[in-house]
Amino acid sequence: MDWFESESFWTQFAPIMFDDARWAEAPAVAQYVKDLAHLKDGAKVLDAGCGLGRISVELAALNLDVTGVDIIQSELDAARDSAEAEGVPLTLINHDLRSWHAPDQFDCAVNLYTSFGYCETVDEDLQILHNIADSVKPDGTFIMECTSRETAVMYWTPGEEFERAGYKVVTHFEVTGAWEGLKSQWILYPLTGDTTKPVVDHTFIQRLYPATFLRDKLLEFGFSKAEVYGDYDLSPYNEHARTMIIIGKK
């Protein structure tokens, strides 16, 4: 089993990875998606790798017909609770994106907040990308955000320490291969009791793709146009880029 298939991992690490700032930005990101894809009320949107529903719920609140797909059931349960609390409808599917697709079903698909590049092989990563692309209708849009090779280079740091969700979090980062991956170690220490003994010590690798590689793959997978930007405001993807955004149009 790959580490990202572990329910216990996400139960412990979701509050660490999705801090208050990430939740606070969700309404704005959802509005960007609706505007960038020119979606009308009722348009069908796929949130591929929806996790806790951070973006799914906000998209549904914008009167969009949202389907979230994720491999972790506990994450989907939390997304369902959030949707019910907000009073918005949300379709949630527990499935592996390596094998799930819904040909020509969605006006827009999104894969956001660096939820790509964790599979064991490049072929598996690209199968996910192909399945998402296949699920977008003709004339539809795909919006992708992830850590690219270029942004990893620009913002690389050896690590940091901070307190969050009741832990002291210590991270260490290192490059694997010729900037082919980013190895991340996350160590959680308790704030009380024996504060020197880690509760969790988890290491994983995210594969790093150049933006042009992912752009060209979208063209290969059926999009007529794919553009790379440095943020949701369509600023240039250059040395000032905050992140990598790819927008594909069928």
Q: Please say whether the beta carbons of 131 and 119 come within 8 A.
A: no
Residue-wise DSSP of 183-224: EEEEEEEESSSSTTS-SEEEEEEEE---HHHHHHHHHHTT-S
The residues spanned by each domain of the chain are: 3-148+209-249, 151-207
Single out the residue of 69, 65, 90 nearest to residue 80, CA to CA.
90
* Predicted local confidence at residue 19, as pLDDT: 82
Q: 């506990």: which residue's tokens? A: 74
CB distance 229 to 247 below 8 Å: yes
- pLDDT at residue 87, rounded to an integer: 97
pLDDT at 3: 78
pLDDT tens string for the chain (250 positions)?
787 888 888 888 888 888 888 889 999 999 999 999 999 999 999 999 999 999 999 999 999 999 999 999 999 999 999 999 999 999 999 999 999 999 999 999 999 998 899 999 999 999 999 999 999 999 999 999 999 999 999 999 999 999 998 999 999 999 999 999 999 999 999 999 989 999 989 999 999 999 999 999 999 999 999 999 999 999 999 999 999 999 999 9
Q: What is the pLDDT of residue 93?
A: 98
At residue 6, the pLDDT reads: 82
96-100-103 Cα angle (round to 5): 160
CATH code linked to domain 3-148+209-249 = 3.40.50.150
CATH architecture of 151-207: Single Sheet (2.20)
Q: Rounded CA gap, 194 and 222, in Å?
A: 55
Choose among 141, 145, 101: nearest CA to 250: 141
The pTM of this model reads 0.94
104, 38 in Cβ contact below 8 A? no
Tell me how far CA of residue 11 lies from CA of 51, 75, 207, in angstroms. Answer: 11, 8, 23
Q: Are 206 and 118 in contact (CB under 8 A)?
A: yes
